[in-house]
Structures are given as structure tokens and as C-alpha cells.
Amino acid sequence: EAIASPLVKVVAISGSIRKASFNHGLVRSVIDISKELNNGVKVEYVDISPLPMLNTDLEVNGTYPAAVEAFRNKIAEADCYLFASPEYNYSVTAPLKNAIDWASRPPNVWADKAAAIVSAGGGWGGGRSQYHLRQIGIYIDLHFINKPEFYLNVFEAPAKFDADGNLIDAESKESLKKVLLSLHAYALRLKGK
Ligand code: FMN
């Protein structure tokens, strides 16, 4: 029952910080889908571009730079995460790894939360980055949904994004909706609701 279910807060992160990023486009699409669903899931995009490069010298008496504190608070307050993770040289992007590492510093604010990965990229649709992200998730104690998987080849015609990086493909949107529903259900299970 939509009205009775507790609110589930999703923080969505794009591993790419370029303006017309396809992966950021996937996040925008998921936010639109969540509003249409109106089923107690709230998706918030959190920008990782203000984060400095990780350097533990920036940690002073257990406090972090302001941008890092703000990011860590967003991560701590979320019930679960949606990563839109492009593939750079067969792995996750440096900006994403940087963000993950900052939020893993004590106390690790990722711990014991549900997560989902989607990706848009080259030939394998960024799929290889997904396996690296799952491996990173072991140590920071994330619980990834296994299914459905979502990866999108950005080179395939007809184009699935417009020039601004907005997803325009109805079938892909339907697949993203299934990912969000699966993440929502898993987050509720983890919360014991
Ligand atoms: N695409 C792949 O499929 N595999 C790769 O290993 C890969 N390596 C890349 C390395 C770098 C440094 C860059 C800039 C791009 C690479 N790409 C690779 C292509 C990106 O995945 C592709 O441009 C994708 O659209 C980037 O995501 P974005 O649109 O969200 O910025």
C-alpha cells in the first residue's frame, strides 16, 4: 500500500562529473520515475564534484573538509544508494572512487545499506565497472541487489540519449524502473520493514 509504506531515501551518485554525462542522465531519469511511482521512495542526486582529492592530511582531529562533511551527512542519512557508474579503463571512475573513499573514513557511513548499480558506457555498457564496484562494496559493507542488471551501450543506434545527456529511450526507462523497485524492496527488507 503506497501510503502506508515507510519513506525510503535513495541517494543517487553519478561517477561522471561532466555536464552532458549519460550516467548523470540515468540518475535524472530515475528521479523522474520515482516521482511518477509516488510509492514512498525519494531519490536525491548528490554531486561528488565538490569533493577534494582524498588526502588524510585534510582530516583534523577527526573532522573533514566542509564539502566532505556535507557529502558524508548525505550518505549517512540515506537508506540506500543508486550508483550510475561509467567505466574508465575497465574500472570505476576516479571521482567515484574518491567519493566512496571519503565516506568510508571513520565512521564508515556506507555500512549495512542496500545499493544498486546502473551504467552507461562503451561496448559492454560500463558492465566491467559494475563488478569492480561490487568488490569495493564488500569492504565498505554495502548490500547490492543482484537483479535486475542495467547497462547501456551508448554507441548503439538509435541514440538513447539526447545531446544534453537525457535518456530518451522508453524501454531503458522501463528497465530503470525495475531496478528502482528492486532497490526499494531490498532496502525495506534490510530495514526490517
Ligand atoms: N568505456 C568503456 O566501455 N570501457 C572503458 O574501459 C573506458 N575507459 C575510458 C577511460 C577514460 C579515461 C574515459 C574518459 C572514457 C572511457 N570510456 C570507456 C568511455 C566512457 O565510459 C564513456 O565515454 C561514457 O559515456 C562516460 O560516461 P558519461 O557519459 O557519464 O560521462
Domain assignment of residue 96, yes or no: yes
Q: Which amino acid is at 99?
A: A
Q: Please answer whether residues 167 and 177 qualify as being in contact, where contact means their C-beta atoms are separated by less than 8 angstroms.
A: no
Domain boundaries, position 71: 8-191
- Nearest ligand 1 atom to the CA of 165 is 29
How far does residue 94's CA lie from ligand 1's centre (Å)? 12
- Nearest ligand 1 atom to the CA of 84 is 30
Angle at 97 between CA 138 and CA 185, to 5 degrees: 50
What CATH number should be reported for the domain holding residue 27? 3.40.50.360
Instruction: Please tell me the predicted confidence (pLDDT) of residue 5.
Output: 64
- Nearest ligand 1 atom to the CA of 124 is 3
pLDDT above 70: residue 1: no
pLDDT, mean over the chain? 96
Domain assignment of residue 93, yes or no: yes
Q: What residues are in contact with ligand 1 under a 6 Å CB criterion?
A: 16, 18, 21-23, 86-90, 120-124, 126, 154
> How many distinct structural domains can be found in the chain?
1
Q: What is the pLDDT of residues 74-104, one digit of tens each?
A: 999 999 999 999 999 999 999 999 999 999 9
Q: Which of 27, 89, 132, 153 to mutate to test the pocket of ligand 1 (most atoms within 8 A of CB)?
A: 89
How far does residue 61's CA lie from ligand 1's centre (Å)? 38
Q: What is the pLDDT of residues 20-39, one digit of tens each?
A: 999 999 999 999 999 999 99
Instruction: Please tell me the predicted confidence (pLDDT) of residue 62.
Output: 87
Residue that the C-alpha cell 543506434 belongs to? 157
ipTM value of the model? 0.98
Rg (the chain; Cα; Å): 16
Q: Please answer whether residues 112 and 143 qualify as being in contact, where contact means their C-beta atoms are separated by less than 8 angstroms.
A: yes
CA distances from 83 to 13, 62, 79, 188 (A): 5, 27, 14, 18
Domain assignment of residue 1, yes or no: no
